[in-house]
Structure 1
């Protein structure tokens, strides 16, 4: 049987990351206790972990791992591990009385995953105020990106409080996973893929010269956004092993109305709020000046599925004191960047068609070079507009935990769920004034939400 090799985009995600900046995505889900609360109101986490393990067995992506290959064996292979018990991926944790859930989650998300198992982990956390419990799902970007990670979490949840979760077709006995492919199997499959096609079989073809030229043009166009000197600030730093995270939320409906009233998008409002938070942060540090900008990189979806297909770089006008002019500037810049990406077809797919040895050199090098030319990253993940449940316990809040990259000690990630926008600021643990940034973001979003309420009232 042909083996399922990692795609080039998955392989790229396996190349990046190190001990201090693993390429992990976290999703923190906070639940009301629901049926898991005992007579004393304390959540019994044992049944939560058992239910989570059972549901994970019904999600194919959570039952496969990467078989890392050696020279001559071809690309790594997706396999179902016959020795992997998915219950080992679910752990129970108690949050201490003085611990902060957000910061604990950011540090836990940066804890390495076992590369010889399926690349995910779930922690059931109790000890939260109000008797609530949380589930922190951590996946490697090889397994899923932001949208994909959210879909994995949603596949473990229910659409209604009394829903019966399906675990797949019933089986009288577990079907054992096939044995892992041997060195001989891997080499034979690798060679088979490059033999001349026979009997109408499709064989991969080497990238054409035209496509290689398009890939180089896309690379030059992408790297041109990083040109020009960066203003000197205290934001760049070598990222260490510890994290600090701070969160806030805002009503999504009024934000949409406020964005529409100003000819902007919710994502533009988020960027403007980040600019306000950075202005407050750098002003408190004595670094803000009129011409100051902060460079951010933003995932962009040019696909109807919402999957991120490209990246754009935007300079946030932090030195601009007027919030309205700041938002207008950001809206103009994001519109221009998106138009250019559509015109040039800048999805980066031609870069992924380069031969593996060439891509192995170019893409990680470009990522390292790019990370030295930005201050932070900002991402906005669209989530479910309706409430979700876990075996009768309602999901009340959900926060994304985005990864850090070397030399970029800040990342802001937003997630919409059930009518609210949750924003999580993840940072290197040496940044002690993170709440100043968070408070500035919260204040800006609150101002835009009030404008949205006023706009709705006027109509």
Structure 2
């Protein structure tokens, strides 16, 4: 009996998250009503949900769950589920007029997923202005990160309005493995001389612990400079607030080309402006102030994030041009260092599972005490996408918060636009100041 066990980069995400900060991300996609419009002006959400559930059956990753294992059984295993389990992951809901849709979605995204079911859910949302509807997709980081999550969403959509999909054949999942199956699956490694190393992942070598320790020390070196005190760090509570900004992606790309900066650099500069505005309102902005942020870096051999890049944003610098130049210099240096060292993840992910189970969550908790926010930028589709004839007009990413870090910024490009969301702890009542500052900084004059 063949098994697909969780990779280490998937497994570590199961160890992260607590009561108020589940390690879940969301994406809210807004659609024109298209063929789902009803004469009353509302949307046939039941039909949308049926179409969505049928499409989900065609995506292998959405039709499986984690079979959690016990002592001696090895890493958890991916197992298929019955079709009706998949279709029940799709539901319908509605929002009342005047609802702050981004904030509503960010609060829905932290409702915990059942770890014994497929690690995702989707809701079709009615009640939007202009007869539009939305689909909120929430996935656990075990299943996908931002880039993989965007790929999964795109697999549910179409490249044009006229695509007709056939219903997939009924799947009959195999029975979950028994304890005996799982133990037998591990026997070849024991017989091959790996006795005593049964918790070590494939490709492990005796030098891995030493290299992992070196990686950890190198990653923590970015935190050596004392971080200025601000009101940004906070214990994260049970609610969220969200602000949204957007910009023309083509104009940003041209501006970046003229200034020797990437779109990601311009995004960080906009976040810096927003933070400057926020801390000025709070009477905390001062010369020399910086705000420490982390940016995820995808690994070469995994589908999920393998490294984190630390950048100190020059919030205290009053000149926007100097702020951008400083950011370009710092991000270039960090990228060069990551390329030279191979990143801060491959050897940590190769540690024996019991060691990694303790070290990685501990390192993450320690790191969260040393940063002020995180920023991520996910490249999305460059052309419009459709859902059974209804065009997707907007897509808002919802990045998770971590303990003691009450702000996270996520950007997603789609169809020539860059959408930036600021997900904040619900007690951060001035998050719109940050969002407005980002929007102002991203506004590029017409060429």
Check whether TM > 0.5.
yes
Q: Select 2:185's aligned residue among 181, 186, 189.
A: 189
User: Would you say the 8 A contact 2:368–2:405 is kept in 1?
Assistant: yes
Question: Which range moves more in the overlay, 32-41 or 281-290?
Answer: 32-41
TM-score normalised according to structure 1 size: 0.93
Q: Which residue does the alignment assign to 1:228?
A: 225
Map Cα deviations across residues 396-427 of structure 1 (whole Å, 9 max, x no partner).
00010000000000000000000000000000
Q: Which residue does the alignment assign to 2:280?
A: 283
**How many angstroms apart in 2 are the aligned matches of 1:175 and 1:90?**
18
Are the structure 2 counterparts of residues 2 and 307 from structure 1 closer, same or farther at C-alpha, using a change threshold of 3 Å?
closer
Q: Which residue does the alignment assign to 2:125?
A: 125
- Structure 1 residue 96 displacement after superposition: 1.5
Q: Which residue does the alignment assign to 1:66?
A: 66
Map Cα deviations across residues 159-202 of structure 1 (whole Å, 9 max, x no partner).
0000122555xx4xx3421111112222222334432189xxxx
- Structure 1 residue 205 displacement after superposition: 5.6
Map Cα deviations across residues 73-128 of structure 1 (whole Å, 9 max, x no partner).
11111001248522211111110223211001100000000111000000100100
**How many angstroms apart in 2 are the aligned matches of 1:315 and 1:328?**
13
- Structure 1 residue 230 displacement after superposition: 1.3
Aligned partner of residue 290 in structure 1, secondary structure: coil
User: Would you say the 8 A contact 2:30–2:134 is kept in 1?
Assistant: yes
Are the structure 2 counterparts of residues 308 and 76 from structure 1 closer, same or farther at C-alpha, using a change threshold of 3 Å?
closer
Q: Which residue does the alignment assign to 1:210?
A: 207
User: Would you say the 8 A contact 1:194–1:204 is kept in 2?
Assistant: no
Question: Which range moves more in the overlay, 68-77 or 209-218?
Answer: 209-218
Q: Which residue does the alignment assign to 1:42?
A: 42
- Structure 1 residue 148 displacement after superposition: 0.5
Are the structure 2 counterparts of residues 61 and 412 from structure 1 closer, same or farther at C-alpha, using a change threshold of 3 Å?
same
User: Would you say the 8 A contact 1:84–1:117 is kept in 2?
Assistant: no
Q: Which residue does the alignment assign to 1:428?
A: 425
Is 1:365 the counterpart of 2:362? The answer is yes
Aligned partner of residue 195 in structure 1, secondary structure: helix
Are the structure 2 counterparts of residues 166 and 268 from structure 1 closer, same or farther at C-alpha, using a change threshold of 3 Å?
farther
Are the structure 2 counterparts of residues 28 and 76 from structure 1 closer, same or farther at C-alpha, using a change threshold of 3 Å?
same
Q: Which residue does the alignment assign to 1:457?
A: none
Matches within 5 A, 1:40-439: 40-82=40-82, 85-168=85-168, 171=169, 174-196=170-192, 207-301=204-298, 303=300, 308-439=305-436
- Structure 1 residue 2 displacement after superposition: 2.1
Q: What stretches of structure 2 of length at least 5 have no aligned partner?
A: 195-199
Aligned partner of residue 158 in structure 1, secondary structure: coil
Question: Which range moves more in the overlay, 294-303 or 408-417?
Answer: 294-303
Q: How many residues get paired? A: 442
User: Would you say the 8 A contact 1:278–1:437 is kept in 2?
Assistant: yes
User: Would you say the 8 A contact 1:81–1:180 is kept in 2?
Assistant: no
**How many angstroms apart in 2 are the aligned matches of 1:108 and 1:391?**
25
- Structure 1 residue 316 displacement after superposition: 0.2
Map Cα deviations across residues 196-239 of structure 1 (whole Å, 9 max, x no partner).
189xxxx9667223333222211110011122321111100000
- Structure 1 residue 22 displacement after superposition: 0.4
Q: Please tell me the root mean square deviation across aligned C-alpha atoms, in Å.
A: 1.8
**How many angstroms apart in 1 are the aligned matches of 2:81 and 2:302?**
30
User: Would you say the 8 A contact 1:372–1:407 is kept in 2?
Assistant: yes
Q: Which residue does the alignment assign to 2:197?
A: none
Are the structure 2 counterparts of residues 134 and 204 from structure 1 closer, same or farther at C-alpha, using a change threshold of 3 Å?
closer
Q: What stretches of structure 1 of length at least 5 have no aligned partner?
A: 455-459
User: Would you say the 8 A contact 2:291–2:372 is kept in 1?
Assistant: yes
Map Cα deviations across residues 425-458 of structure 1 (whole Å, 9 max, x no partner).
0000000001000000000000xx22xx43xxxx
TM-score normalised according to structure 2 size: 0.95
Are the structure 2 counterparts of residues 197 and 302 from structure 1 closer, same or farther at C-alpha, using a change threshold of 3 Å?
closer
Are the structure 2 counterparts of residues 306 and 326 from structure 1 closer, same or farther at C-alpha, using a change threshold of 3 Å?
farther
User: Would you say the 8 A contact 1:66–1:115 is kept in 2?
Assistant: yes
Aligned partner of residue 85 in structure 1, secondary structure: helix
Aligned partner of residue 363 in structure 1, secondary structure: helix
Map Cα deviations across residues 354-387 of structure 1 (whole Å, 9 max, x no partner).
1111111111110000000000000000000000
User: Would you say the 8 A contact 2:57–2:83 is kept in 1?
Assistant: no
Question: Which range moves more in the overlay, 100-109 or 89-98?
Answer: 89-98
Aligned partner of residue 28 in structure 2, secondary structure: strand
